[in-house]
Amino acid sequence: MFRTPLRSLSTTARTTLKIGLIPADGIGREVIPAAKAAIQALGSDIPKTEFIDLLAGWDTFTRTGVALPQETNDILRDECDCALFGSVSSPSKKVVGYSSPIVALRKNMDLYANIRPVLSVAPEPGQKAAVDLVVVRENTECLYVKQEQQTIGKKGREARATRLITEHASRKIGQRAFEIALGRPRKHLTIIHKSNVLSVTDGLFRETVREVPSLPEINGKYDKVTVMEQLVDSALYRLFREPEVFDVMVAPNLYGDILSDAAAALVGSLGLVPSINAGDNFVIGEPVHGSAPDIAGKGIANPIASIRSAALMLRYLGYVTGADRLDTAVDQVVREGTTLTPDLHGKSTTQEVLDAILKRL
C-alpha cells in the first residue's frame, strides 16, 4: 500500500523526541492517549519520547476564560518537536472572547498546510486501494480569518464575512501540493476553486498555484506533474461518483475542509482519516473528526484517526519505519474486521481497538 512521502523537518539527529499532547475536548481526551500508547510501543524505531500535557479548548475556555493559554503556545514553540491535537467543541453561536484554539495554533505557528490523506484498506496486503487521494488544504486564510460583522439594513439584519486569499499563501500551499504530487506514483494534481463565481479571490488562488511550476527557483522540478482544475461543486460530485480520478487535490481553506470530510465517507468513517498541520518548522498531528459530544466518555471513540495522525507526524519528522509500522498494524486490524468501534459497525471499545493494534506492533 502506497504511503504519501513527506520530507523531514530536520536532518538533525534527536536523542529525545518531545511531543506536546493537546487532547482538548470531547473524544480528544480518549483518542490522544491511545495515540500516545501507540507511539510508545514503537521502541527503538524512534528516539526516546517525552510527552508534555498541554491545555486548550472549549472546556479550558469555560474554566479560565482563555481557549489557548499562552503557556501552551510557549511550550510548543520553545520545548516541543511536534504535537498531537485531539478535537475541539467550538460553539455554533458567537461567544465573546472565544476563538478556536486549533485555528489559532495554525496561524501562530505558521502551519500553512493541512495534509489529509484519504486511503482505504485493500482486501489483501499489496493490492491497490480503492480510494487513495490526498487533500492539501491551505490552512491560514479564506473565511477562517474570522472577520465577520453584523449590521442593520433596510430589510433587517445583515451579516458579512471577509474572505482573504493572498498570493503568498497560495504559492506556499501550491508548492507543497506539487511536492506531494511529485512523490506519488500518478504525479497528478487537481486545483480546486470556484473562480467562475469568485473570480477575484478564487481566481488569485487558481492563477498562483498554476504558476508554481514556472517559478525560476523551481527550474523544471515539477515537469512530470500533470495538472487539471475542477470547480469545487463538481469536484464533490466526482469525488463520490469516481474518486479514482483524483490523486492530490489542493484547495483553499474552506473547500479543503469540506472535501476532506466528505472524502472520509468513501473509506467508511471520519474515525479513520488523519491529518497533519504542517509548516516549515513544526508539525501537529490531528484526526479529522470532531469532538463527538454524543459519544464522549462512553469509551467507544475510534482511535484509528489519531494513531494514523501520529504516523503522519512521525513520517513528516523523518521516522518512516515507525510510521509504517503504525499504519501496517492499523491496516491489519481494519482488514480483519473483528475489532472495530461502532462507527465502523463494530462493537469494540476504544481500548479494545488500541489493544488489537498494539498486539500487531
Using the predicted structure, report yes or no on whether residue 5 has a pLDDT greater than 70: no
Using the predicted structure, report yes or no on whether residue 105 has a pLDDT greater than 70: yes
DSSP-derived pairing of the beta strands 283-285 and 82-87: parallel
How high is the pLDDT of residue 1? 41
Active-site residue identified among 18, 81, 132, 144: 144
Burial of 261 (0-12, 13-18, 19+ CB in 10 A): middle
Give pLDDT tens digits for 294-349. 999 999 999 999 999 999 999 999 999 999 999 999 999 999 999 999 999 999 99
Q: What is the mean pLDDT of residues 165-181?
A: 97
Residue 11 confidence class, pLDDT cut points 50, 70, 90 = very low
Widest distance between CA atoms in the chain: 68
User: Average pLDDT, whole number, for the chain?
Assistant: 94
How high is the pLDDT of residue 3? 66
Using the predicted structure, report yes or no on whether residue 182 has a pLDDT greater than 80: yes
Q: Which amino acid type is present at position 348?
A: S
Residue 13 confidence class, pLDDT cut points 50, 70, 90 = confident
What are the distances in angstroms from CA 167 to CA 13, 173, 196, 252, 253?
A: 35, 10, 19, 12, 14
Instruction: Indicate if 233 belongs to the active site.
Output: yes
Q: Which amino acid type is present at position 360?
A: R
Active-site residue identified among 18, 36, 172, 194: 194
Instruction: Indicate if 331 belongs to the active site.
Output: no
Instruction: Indicate if 327 belongs to the active site.
Output: no
Q: What is the mean pLDDT of residues 281-298?
A: 96
Instruction: Indicate if 110 belongs to the active site.
Output: no
How high is the pLDDT of residue 215? 95
Give pLDDT tens digits for 20-40. 999 999 999 999 999 999 999
Active-site residue identified among 45, 110, 261, 324: 261
Q: Which domains does the chain have, with CATH numbers?
A: 14-114+278-360 (3.40.718.10), 132-266 (3.40.718.10)
- How far is the C-alpha of 65 from the C-alpha of 279, rounded, in Å? 28
Active-site residue identified among 53, 74, 223, 233: 233
- How far is the C-alpha of 344 from the C-alpha of 339, rounded, in Å? 10
Do residues 177 and 189 touch, judged by C-beta distance below 8 A? Answer: yes
